Structures are given as C-alpha cells and as structure tokens.
Amino acid sequence: GGAQDRFEAKATCCYCGVGCGIIVQSDGAKVTGVRGDPDHPANFGRLCTKGSTLHLSAEAGLQQQARALFPALRSARNAPLERASWDDTLDLIAKKFADTIRLHGPDSVGFYVSGQLLTEDYYVFNKLAKGLIGTNNIDTNSRLCMSSAVAGYKQTLGADAPPACYEDIDHAELIFIVGSNTAYAHPILYRRIEDARKNNPNLKVVVVDPRRTDTAREADLFLAILPGSDVALFNGMLHICLWEDLIDSAYIEAHTEGFAELKQTVREYTPKYVADICGISEADLIQAARWFGQAKSALSLYCQGLNQSSSGTAKNAALINLHLATHQIGKPGAGPFSLTGQPNAMGGREVGGMANLLSAHRDLANPEHRAEVAALWGVDQVPSTSGKTAVELFDAVRAGDIKILWIACTNPAQSMPDQRLVREALKKAELVIVQEAYQTTATVAYADVLLPATSWSEKEGTVTNSERRITRIQAALPKPGATRHDWEIVCDFARKLEARLGKEHSLFPYRSSEAIWNEHRESTRGRDLDITGLSFAILEQQGPQQWPFPTGASSGKQRLYEDGIFPTASGRARFVNTVYRPVAEPVDARYPFHLNTGRLRDQWHGMSRTGTVAQLFAHAPEPAVVLSSTDMTRRLLKNGDLVHVTSRRGSQILPALSGDDMRAGQAFVAMHWGEEYVSGRGHDGHGSYGVNALTLPVFDPSSKQPELKHAAVKILKA
C-alpha cells in the first residue's frame, strides 16, 4: 500500500459465522481498504461480496449520517432525540434502574442483546444482569438464530459444541446440506465445498431445502421437501439404514444410549409414509439414505432451515441421531456441523449470554453450576428461575411486567416475528434504551435513550466462528464522535448503578477487553470449552485457535469425540426419541400458500450496514415475493405485478416474481427489507414492518426459538 493505507489491523468480517479473517487498511482516520487475511484458516485470504465491500459500508455509514455518534435522550415519546452528555445519560438510567428494581424487583428489567457483540461485550452484559442486578432476563437475537442448535447438541451429545471443523469438508465423501443456502449465507465455506468437489470426483453433495436455491442447483441429489418435514426425513433415512444394515451396531453398543426406543419409533417411518409427508419420491429418499450410510465419511451442514422452527430442537436431534447410528461423527470428514448465522453467536453461547444459560456452557437449572458462577463473580448467588426468552421478553414488556428494556446491537422492530407484539411492547415500556452504532434502525424510533456504540473496524476483542475458532480482533480506527465500546458502556453504567445500590466493591473493574476476556477464560477451567491455555498474546502470535485449548496444550482441538466419549453423565451420547410434528400453522383453504423467509446473497440482516452500499443492490434491487410459474399463471400474474401477501397477523404489498426455484404452493420473501421499503399495514392499522408483519410468534418448546421459516399466507392481486 501507499500513503493511503499506512495502518493495518487484523480483524474478522462481521457478516456471518464463517468468520473470515480480514486485514483492514486505514489512513488513521478512515478505512481505505479491506482484504482477506491469507493466514486465517477460515478463508485463507478469500472474501465474498459482502466481506469485500466492508470498507465501503464503513465509510458510507458515516457519510450518510447513519451512524449514532452522541448519546441522546427524548423528553417525551413523540419528541425528537436530543444530544446529551454520557454522564447525564448514564446517571439518568442508573437512577431509573435503581428505582425500578427497588419498587418492582430485579425481574422488572430486561436486556435484549446480539450475536453481533464481541465475546467481552457479551460477558459483561451477562454479568450485569445475572451478577449485579440479579435477573436472568437477558436474551439475544441468537435466540432467533442458534438456540435450537444449542438444545439439539446438548440433548444428544451433552454439550453445546459443534464437533466438526471446516477442514472436514476436504475429507468428506458425502456432504449433506440441510436447511441452508450455503452459497448465499456462508459463501466462503461454499467455495471450499466447490474446491473439494474439484479435488475429489467421488464427493457427493445432497441438498435438502423447500426451495431450489443456488446451493441446491449444484447438488448431486436435491430433495425439495415440504416445509417443516425434516424430522420425518431423518427418521425415514434412519429407517432405511436400519433395514439395509447400514448402521454401526458396535458403535451404538459401545458409545450411546437410548437406541432401542428410537428404533421402535422409526419403524413407522417407512419410505412410503415419509415420501408422502416430505413430498419427495421414495427413490430419492432411499438414494439419500444409502449415500449417507455407505459413505466412509458424511458431513452435515445445517442452519436456519432446521433452527427457525417450532420443532427446531427435534430436527437437530433427529439429524444427530442419524450421525450417531451410522458412526458419522468423531472422525475426519464426518459429523453434524451446525453453521452459525452471526459472526459471534458462538461467543455469546460460551459466556452463557442467554436467559437459560450460564458462563462457560453451564446450566442455569443446575444448582452446582449456579454456585460455581456466583463464586467466580464474588456474589452471593445468581438467580435460579429462567429468564424470559426473546418472544417471552417482549410479551412481558407488553404485559407491563418488565418496565425497562435495554436493547443492544440488534433491531427487534424488524427482526422479531409478529411485529405487532413487538411494537406494542416498545410503546408500553416505561424506558427503552437502545445501544447502537446506527441511528437509522427501526428500533431507534422507539428509544427513550440512545447510547452510541463503536462498530466494525473500531472495536477490539474476540469472536468465535462456527468451527469453535477464536480470533483476536484489533481496532483499525479510533472511536468516532462520542461513541464508546459496548463493554465500556456496560461497565460505566454498572459502576453508576453499583454506587446507587450501595455496593462497595465493583464487579466491573476492567480497563480493557483483555481483562474481561481473562476472567471469561478462568470461568472455562475444566469445562468442555476450556481455554485456560490461551491468551491474547498467543492469539496474536500464533493466530486464531479452536477450543478446547486447556492449560499445557500446544493447539486447540480440530474435531471432538474422536475417542467416543461424550460429556454426558454416563459418557455416552444419547439418542433422542424424535417424532415428526407438522408446522405450527398449516396451510388451509383461506391461507393456501407456505411462506418461507431467508437471506439474499448480498444483503445482511435489516440492511443497516449493507443498505448503505449501492452495488450490493445489483443482485436484488427491491423486495419481492417469489412464486412458482404455475402459481403465477394460475393467478394471472405477470412479473412485477403487485400482490397482497396476507397472513392472520398482517399484510404486505409486494411485486410478484416468478422463480423456477419454487414449488407450486410456496412463496418466498427475503428478510432484509423493513418498513421504509415496503407498503402495507399490520392488522393494528400501523405500518407494515417488513416480512415479520406476517410471521408468527410460536416457538419450539425446548429452545424457545420462533418459527420464522413458515407461515400460512394468501396471495391476491393488488
């Protein structure tokens, strides 16, 4: 580089769970460029369209005045936000917190945070809620993303740990992609799959998805299953493996428990029965099962198609059952590998940043675990009752049980299902605090207090990607305006609250993200994710490392459970007796279409970042509902005709597009566009809120993850 890019900092791309390493170039004041880090094992220098335009979004965010740069307060709900000092702002909210807790108890406040936060940010938020205030009312947008994967892993393998790694793609004989449009959502990982196919002509790829996505188009076998039928499919594949003697009885005998019961259940999942439920041919089902059972190594990659479901945990468990029964786990090229959506969903899980989790994969329900965390933090106890999870949290705010809601680094007024509920809750709350890098999100419109946070390229700390790899992130730029780091805001506030609550010793003495990380590291001692052998210095000198990495280790562990010993009480993996249940809202004569939602290739979440970069709209310039050509013809629709897409909760007007990726009876709307782009109205008479005006708040009973991937809708010409 020249004078323009005098400074270089190592970081990761903030757009997805692949966690590609990047080198950020800057002139000291602004980012001048970004390139892939050739030494990072997630991407070896490669970047996708989103990653390679990061520097453009950073600059555009500032130029277009999208960034929140100063603390701001609203004197009344309809008044504009007005600039205030940090001191006044934090004093005000500390007083309000102290008063509310005194009057209504600690559970009258709640936090809704984000998989965008760095591990250190997450750690202090969790400690603030559970350690200082004494409430478990802290949940995260990872609830909408990964909580079914967490529950699935814990129920079967005993710990929330993806057992495989990216390198397994190079060793696999079969790659089984389920409910993931990897080509769009995890592009660099997908390129690795393309490379593996070139290098290994015997590698087969099977894709399972209701839509014929770009990922599905390239598959050797594509199963276009009906939405929500995954458990039937996996049980059916296991049925065939049993029938054709493709299971590994010796492995089942030595390393698992609970198979007899599951065997009884899958007896009923005959090819005919399953093919009918899934809407696929028996021949394709049998082919998929044979390839899976016969492959020397089968690797499953899966994402929101399994997780965002009212039976998300069962879907995860049923797939893991299949891996256990065929011994496709704990060896190179094999394993059930859940891909994380957000860049640091894993880090959030590690510090226990959810309403039902505790630090270092501990369980809130376990009294010993609670005592361990209380001792680590130096507090008398952590509260035992599970906090409110995402949908429940907003329900409790709407009901008036939670009076103060603190939202950090996420945009629930677009991303949560059933927007009517969310908007009513935000209006009802006595105090809404929004900690954000952007002042343009839909949620900021509901903020009584706006706390400006640093963003990508300004932050430093750590993140963990899908393959359990921790990367140290360096800041490339100074903090713009009066912004503070997310962890600093939490600690500054916490110390003020401690003073009001009369605490003598602060639980938040940190002066750096490293000090926070060191405390987190200590909390992992002896746990499945033990990282006591790591330090910031090692991460900087030796590059990103996978956990576990205990004291004395010279490297992290690529692959888990190679010895067949699992972190359960008996040391055996557990088969879960998974039973197929249909979607929460089946289609009927009034609402005959299956609505599916998902990502586009070049956009991210609610577009606060990607929406500032013109070239990222070239791939898909505007929101649309995609229908099959059969349905377009049947309804006399031409490409671009406006239609009402209506569910029991709301309606939207969108242009209809014919797509050969859709089966008849199915509709797809991308998740990215919010109210400023879409016209229509919710049934409460307010604005349209994007596609989540239509989705429903029903969630999985174990993981509490909502069914964002399916709702019944009708489609009428506008």
3-state DSSP call for residue 380?
coil
Query: Smallest distance from the beta carbon of 16 to ligand SF4, in angstroms?
Result: 3
* Residue 249, C-beta contacts closer than 8 angstroms, at least 6 positions apart: none
For 306, list phi and psi in degrees, rounded to 5.
-85, -40
Query: Smallest distance from the beta carbon of 31 to ligand SF4, in angstroms?
Result: 15
Give the 3-state secondary structure percentages of the chain, helix then strand then coil, rounded to 5.
35, 20, 45
Nearer to ligand SF4 by Cβ, of 192 and 649: the residue is: 192
> In this chain, which residue has its C-beta nearest to ligand SF4?
51
Query: Smallest distance from the beta carbon of 22 to ligand SF4, in angstroms?
Result: 8
332 contacts ligand SF4 (rule: CB under 6 A): no
56 contacts ligand SF4 (rule: CB under 6 A): no
How many chain residues are in contact with ligand SF4, going by CB under 6 A?
14
The gap between the terminal CA atoms of the chain, to the nearest Å, is 54
Strand ranges in 453-603 using DSSP code E only, listed in sequence order:
461-464, 469-473, 545-546, 573-574, 593-598
605 contacts ligand SF4 (rule: CB under 6 A): no
3-state DSSP call for residue 345?
helix
Nearer to ligand SF4 by Cβ, of 37 and 460: the residue is: 37
Query: Smallest distance from the beta carbon of 41 to ligand SF4, in angstroms?
Result: 12
Nearest to 112 by CA among 539, 456, 435, 553: 435
Strand ranges in 608-691 using DSSP code E only, listed in sequence order:
625-627, 642-646, 650-658, 666-670, 679-682
Query: Smallest distance from the beta carbon of 458 to ligand SF4, in angstroms?
Result: 18
Beta bridge partners of 453: 484
The burial of 52, by beta-carbon neighbours within 10 Å (0-12 exposed, 13-18 middle, 19 or more buried), is given as middle
DSSP annotation string for 65-122: T-B--S-EEESSTTSPEEE--HHHHHHHHHHHHHHHHHHH-GGGEEEEE-TTS-HHHH
Given 5, 15, 37, 57, the residue binding ligand SF4 (CB under 6 A): 15
| Binding residues for ligand SF4 restricted to 19-38, rule: CB under 6 A | 19-20
Query: Smallest distance from the beta carbon of 604 to ligand SF4, in angstroms?
Result: 7
Nearer to ligand SF4 by Cβ, of 224 and 670: the residue is: 670
463 contacts ligand SF4 (rule: CB under 6 A): no
B/e letters for 653-665, b = 16+ CB within 10 Å, e = fewer, are: bbebbbbebbbee
Count other Cβ atoms within 10 Å, centred on residue 314.
Answer: 30
CA angle 406, 411, 413 (to 5 degrees): 95
Query: Smallest distance from the beta carbon of 20 to ligand SF4, in angstroms?
Result: 3
Query: Smallest distance from the beta carbon of 33 to ligand SF4, in angstroms?
Result: 14
Distance (Å, whole) CA 244 – CA 327: 15
Q: What is the DSSP-derived secondary structure letter of residue 438?
A: B
50 contacts ligand SF4 (rule: CB under 6 A): yes
Nearer to ligand SF4 by Cβ, of 22 and 159: the residue is: 22
47 contacts ligand SF4 (rule: CB under 6 A): yes
The mark string for 371-390 relative to ligand SF4 (x by CB under 6 A, - otherwise) is --------------------
Alpha carbon 76 to chain centroid distance?
Answer: 34
Residue 644 identity (one-letter amino acid) = H
Nearer to ligand SF4 by Cβ, of 43 and 666: the residue is: 43
Stretch touching ligand SF4 by CB under 6 A, among 43-51, 91-99, 300-308, 345-353: 43-51
Stretch touching ligand SF4 by CB under 6 A, among 42-50, 272-280, 287-295, 414-422: 42-50
Query: Smallest distance from the beta carbon of 394 to ligand SF4, in angstroms?
Result: 28
DSSP annotation string for 273-328: HHHHHHTS-HHHHHHHHHHHHHSS-EEEEE-HHHHSSTTHHHHHHHHHHHHHHTT-
Nearer to ligand SF4 by Cβ, of 175 and 277: the residue is: 175
Nearer to ligand SF4 by Cβ, of 101 and 470: the residue is: 470
Give the orientation angle of helix 367-377 with respect to helix 513-523, to 10 degrees.
Answer: 150
Give the orientation angle of helix 282-294 with respect to helix 271-278, to 10 degrees.
Answer: 110
Nearer to ligand SF4 by Cβ, of 410 and 646: the residue is: 410
Nearer to ligand SF4 by Cβ, of 40 and 649: the residue is: 40
Given 51, 71, 550, 706, the residue binding ligand SF4 (CB under 6 A): 51
- Is the peptide bond preceding residue 548 cis, with omega within 30 degrees of 0? yes
Nearer to ligand SF4 by Cβ, of 251 and 302: the residue is: 302
| Binding residues for ligand SF4 restricted to 174-203, rule: CB under 6 A | 186-188
161 contacts ligand SF4 (rule: CB under 6 A): no
Given 34, 48, 373, 432, the residue binding ligand SF4 (CB under 6 A): 48
Query: Smallest distance from the beta carbon of 601 to ligand SF4, in angstroms?
Result: 10
516 contacts ligand SF4 (rule: CB under 6 A): no
Pair 318, 548: CB distance under 8 Å: no
Nearer to ligand SF4 by Cβ, of 48 and 128: the residue is: 48
145 contacts ligand SF4 (rule: CB under 6 A): no
494 contacts ligand SF4 (rule: CB under 6 A): no
Q: Which residues bind ligand SF4 (CB under 6 A)?
A: 13, 15-16, 18-20, 43, 47-48, 50-51, 186-188
